Each structure stands twice: as structure tokens, then as C-alpha cells.
Amino acid sequence: MRIDTYHMKPFPWLGMIVATMLVVGTLCPSQAQAQVPARFYWKTLSGTNAVPLIVESLTGNTNPFDPAHNVSADADIDATLTLMGYAKFFPLLDRAAMAAVLLPMGRISGDVTVVGRAFSESVNGFGDPMLEFVVNVIGPPAQMNIPDALRYAPGFSVDLLVDLALPIGEYDDDQALNIGQNRWYGRLGLPIIWQLGPWVPGRRTTLELLPAVWLFGDNDDYVGQTMETDPLFQLDAHLTRDLTEHFWGSLDGAWYSGGEATINGVSGEKLDNIGLGLTFGYQINDNLNLTVSYKSTINDDAPDDLRMDNLMVSFVYGWHKLIEGSRRLKDEE
């Protein structure tokens, strides 16, 4: 296919890549369910900016604002989480890189039992801001201009991912449910994208994996107790496919292992749970993308199993001064 053919329609393609980069769950890094959405780590033109707005409705037996997923067997928790943030894409030693910041906010309510004490609570406010840095280590070089973006295909790419949450969110040490977590925590991961077939809008297929480990500091005032949490290993997987040039879908899976919590010397259960989900994304226009996703744990019959359901709707607005300038010139013709 000739490059000139692509130049006939550069904006929809680039706009779609910009928008789908940060959509869904995660920008989420990684608050609710600590799950990363499909196509989140696709690369785009260096210099691109993006602003996400993500709204999630969650139910289960764990605090969805805490990626440690400390399960309370008798808990019945309902939450609404909103994430807003900003991301910037840039080159680093000729490799594609991204830096982002996310601010979670929302409400959480429910009944939970901690070391024999029952709590029935409802709280709202701001959570712990999350910083994220991602840099590509295996794959194509950074996209520095429009011709680079038009020629781009991921092939097989591997990134290095670092997340860090700042423990400054709202926290009440008399409550078992909080939006802030009163401790440092973060994640190290290796996002992997494997291109399957041609890289043409409307025909793109990918297999995406994210093995990662979450690390947690101690919460030394968890309803008057000290809570320690072992590292939590998580594997996210997505099989994605373009359904049209502007519409795509994904089959999603996640596996959680570890993360045993100890409260004043009393140990809980290690996680060994699987979640499945489905995601659809739609490019509304050159700058705006909509994504709808549903995820749920499946092996959650035992009282100590992680149980969580998540419905997520997200909008991401992306822009690049080079593309916006080119569009203005085109409009003036």
C-alpha cells in the first residue's frame, strides 16, 4: 500500500490511535480492579497530549480503590469511581515514552468486617494520585513526525512500566473503607504487544499481555491496626480486533496471585482469582474516543475468593499541535 494513499486520510487514523491509547479502565493505572484496558499501551506520535475522563460502577467484597484487593468474606461493597488525568507522549533516547498523572475521586459504601469488628460506612472524596511512566525497550523507534506515524507497526514490542501512588488521598483511621489508602504503593510491569496480521485500520488484530507485580508499604493506622500486604502478581491479557475503521472490540482476562494481607499478625488469604471481560471502543471524531467495558471475577464462589464486577465508561480527548495545525491549513484551502 502506498504512503500517498494514507495521506488521503491521516487524521482519522492518528486521531483514533491517540484516543485509544489512554481509554478505559485504566488509564487507569490502575486504581479500580487494578486492570489495564486493551490498547492502552499502543504508541502514538511523540508530542501527543491526552485527557481522560473515566467513570466506573463497581460492586464486590473488596475496596475497589485499593489495588491490593484485601478480601473481606462478609463484605458487600458498592462504589462509583471517577478518574481524570493528563498524559504526554515523548521520545526518550529514540524510544517511545509516556508520562501520566491520574486523580481518582468518587464514593464508596458498604458493610465490611475487620478483625472481628463490623463496619457499615459511606464515604466520598479524593483518592491517592497515581504517577505513571512507560518507555519502550523492544520495538519500533519513537514516532517523531506524521510519516513515522503512517509507517508505524508495532510488530512485537515490550515496554517497561513504573507506577507510583502518592498517599495523600482522603483517609479516616476510624473507618475500614477509605478512598485514600494511607500508604505508598506502586507497580512494575512489562506491557507486551504482539501484532497479528496487517497493521491497517479496520483490520488490526493484537494479542496484548501485561505481567506486573504490585508492591505495598504498610498502613500503620488501619482502624487502629497495622496492615501489611505481600506483593501481588497480576497478569492482564487482551485479544483485540478492529471491527471497522472506527470500532473495535476485545476479549479481556486477568489473573491475580498473592497479595496476602496481615493485620496485627493475623494473616488473611492469598489471592488466586481469574477475571474475564469484554471491551468495545468507538472513535467519535478525530480527537474523542468512547470505550465501554465490563469485567467480572469468575471463580468467586468461596467466601474468601475475590468477587468484583465492574462496568466502565470512558472518554479520552487527544490532540497534537502538528496535526491540529495541519487540519487548520486543510480547512483554509
Write phi, then psi, for 33 (nearest 5 degrees). 60, 0
Quote the cell numbers at residue 238.
487482551
pLDDT(158) > 70: yes
What's the number of CA atoms in the CB half-sphere (13 Å) around residue 278? Answer: 0
**Residue 233: pLDDT band by 50, 70, 90 thresholds?**
very high
Least trusted range by pLDDT, from 13-22, 130-139, 147-156, 173-182: 13-22
Identify the pLDDT of residue 11.
47
Residues of the chain above pLDDT 70, percent: 86
Single pTM value for the model: 0.86
Is residue 17 within 8 Å of residue 10, measured between CB atoms? Answer: no
The full 3-state SS of 174-208, as one line of letters, equals: CCCCCCCCCCCEEEEECCEEEECCCCCCCCCEEEE
Quote the cell numbers at residue 268.
488473611
Identify the pLDDT of residue 329.
61
Of 17, 39, 1, nearest to 209 by C-alpha is 39
- CATH level 3 topology of 3-332: Lipocalin (2.40.128)
Q: How far apart are CA 252 and CA 218, in angstroms?
A: 31
More confident residue, 172 or 119: 172
Is residue 25 within 8 Å of residue 312, measured between CB atoms? Answer: yes
Residues in Cβ contact with 97 at an 8 Å cutoff, skipping those fewer than 6 apart:
89, 90, 91, 133, 134, 135, 136, 142
- pLDDT digit string (tens) for 196-211? 999 988 999 999 999 9
pLDDT(138) > 90: yes
Quote the cell numbers at residue 42.
499502543
Q: How far apart are CA 120 and CA 131, in angstroms?
A: 31
**Residue 36: pLDDT band by 50, 70, 90 thresholds?**
low
Identify the pLDDT of residue 40.
82
Q: Which amino acid, residue 185? A: Y
More confident residue, 258 or 328: 258
Identify the pLDDT of residue 133.
95
Q: What is the mean pLDDT of residues 171-175?
A: 90
Residues of the chain above pLDDT 90, percent: 50
Q: Report the first-to-last Cα separation within the chain, whole angstroms.
A: 27
**Residue 322: pLDDT band by 50, 70, 90 thresholds?**
confident
Least trusted range by pLDDT, from 110-114, 212-216, 278-282: 110-114
Q: How far apart are CA 315 and CA 271, in angstroms?
A: 31
Is residue 111 within 8 Å of residue 76, measured between CB atoms? Answer: yes
Of 32, 29, 35, nearest to 63 by C-alpha is 32
Mean pLDDT of the chain: 85
- pLDDT digit string (tens) for 69-88? 888 777 889 999 898 989 99
Give the helix/strand (H/E) hosting 121.
strand 117-126
Of 206, 212, 215, 259, nearest to 235 by C-alpha is 212
Is residue 223 within 8 Å of residue 117, measured between CB atoms? Answer: yes
Identify the pLDDT of residue 299.
85
Identify the pLDDT of residue 321.
83
Tell the residue number behind the cell numbers 484485601, with chain if given: 70
Identify the pLDDT of residue 168.
95
Instruction: Give the number of other CB atoms < 10 A from CB of residue 250.
Output: 22
Identify the pLDDT of residue 244.
94
Q: Which amino acid, residue 195? A: Q
pLDDT(253) > 90: yes
pLDDT(216) > 50: yes
Helices 321-332/10-21 angle, 10° precision: 150
Q: Which amino acid, residue 279? A: T
Identify the pLDDT of residue 3.
34
Is residue 150 within 8 Å of residue 132, measured between CB atoms? Answer: no
